[in-house]
Each structure stands twice: as structure tokens, then as C-alpha cells.
Amino acid sequence: MAGRYLEDFNVGDIYKHWPGRTVTEFDDTWFSLMTMNQNPLHIDEHYAKSTQHGRRLVNGTFIFSLVVGMSVNDVSLHAIANLEYESVKHVLPSFHGDTIYAETEVLEIRESQSKPDRGVVYVETRGLNQNGEVVLTLRRRVLIPKRSQTK
């Protein structure tokens, strides 16, 4: 089974999540409607043509969800809980047809002070487009069990 336990993480490790995902117009429209995000930048082509980018932008919370989802197998598959998301930054816009990739860097690891069977992993995950440009960054703390305690 894939996934990491606390003992498998090392500060400085970078996990390149694969595969990437090409974002379609359907993905963006469906996600925007499902989440009741009625911003015309996402759903109104005529309106979006008059904005600085000249076309619709992919909903930023879709990109956030996609990038987090891509990281699950490498970071949080065995997680007890995602404790905190912080510092979410939308660095560049994404558009229909962009392919999003993700990578995660381990920033800090600490054992739980109250429960010896787990610890907290602090990571930064970056979403990149097909040109290698960072479009999103986020940091989160994940509560991860120790392998020795799961058997």
C-alpha cells in the first residue's frame, strides 16, 4: 500500500506528485456551479473577454482542491487529520487547457507531545502549470501515525 508514515518523512524531501491533470472547461464550470461560485470570471465568457486576461479563469479553489488531492498519496494517505491549512497563495491564474502538476516539500516534523503513536508533518505544496510556473502554494500541518503503532 502506498502512503507514508511519520518515520518515512525527512525534512527537505520533495515529492513530485504524478500524474498531472489537464483542467477542462467542464471541470471549471461544474466546480463553480457546484460550489455556488457565481463570479462571472469563471462562468461568463462574454464578460471575461473584457477583463485583463481576456478569457475565463479557472476557479482558484478548484486548483487548490486539485493540488491537495494530487498530494494525498505521498503526504496524507495515512493521515489521522489535516490539522491546518495556511498561507494559500494564488500566484498565477490558470486557464482551461492548462495542465497542473504538484510537488510537496517537507519543512518540519515533530512527534506528538501527548500521544506517542503519531506526529505532525509540516509541508509546503506547490501547484505548477505545464510551463513549470508556480500557480499556487499552500502550507499545511498533517497528523500522521507512526508505522510502529499501526500493526
pLDDT value for 150: 62
The answer to whether 125 and 140 are in contact (CB under 8 A) is yes
pLDDT value for 101: 98
> Exposed, middle or buried: residue 137 (CB in 10 Å: 0-12, 13-18, 19+)?
middle
Domain 6-149: which CATH number of 3.10.129.10, 1.10.540.10, 3.30.565.10, 3.30.365.10: 3.10.129.10
The band of 148, judged by pLDDT with boundaries at 50, 70 and 90, is confident
The band of 149, judged by pLDDT with boundaries at 50, 70 and 90, is low
CB atoms within 10 A of CB 125: 24
Percent of the chain at pLDDT above 70? Answer: 97
For cell 489521522, name the residue: 80
Q: What is the mean pLDDT of residues 70-90?
A: 96
| Nearest Cα residue to 134 out of 85, 87, 92 | 92
Give bridge partners of residue 109 from the DSSP assignment.
121
H helical segments located in 14-97: 25-34, 40-43, 45-48, 60-71
Q: How far apart are CA 44 and CA 131, in angstroms?
A: 26
Q: How far apart are CA 122 and CA 83, in angstroms?
A: 10
Average pLDDT for the chain: 95
| Nearest Cα residue to 130 out of 20, 2, 7 | 20
Enumerate the domain spans of the chain. 6-149
Per DSSP (E only), the strands in the chain are 14-22, 81-90, 99-111, 118-128, 134-145
Kindly report whether the global pTM for this prediction surpasses the value 0.95: no
pLDDT greater than 60 at residue 1: no
CB atoms within 10 A of CB 73: 14
H helical segments located in 8-120: 25-34, 40-43, 45-48, 60-71
pLDDT greater than 90 at residue 68: yes
pLDDT greater than 70 at residue 151: no
- The tens digit of pLDDT for each residue in 94-133 reads 999 999 999 999 999 999 999 999 999 999 999 999 999 9
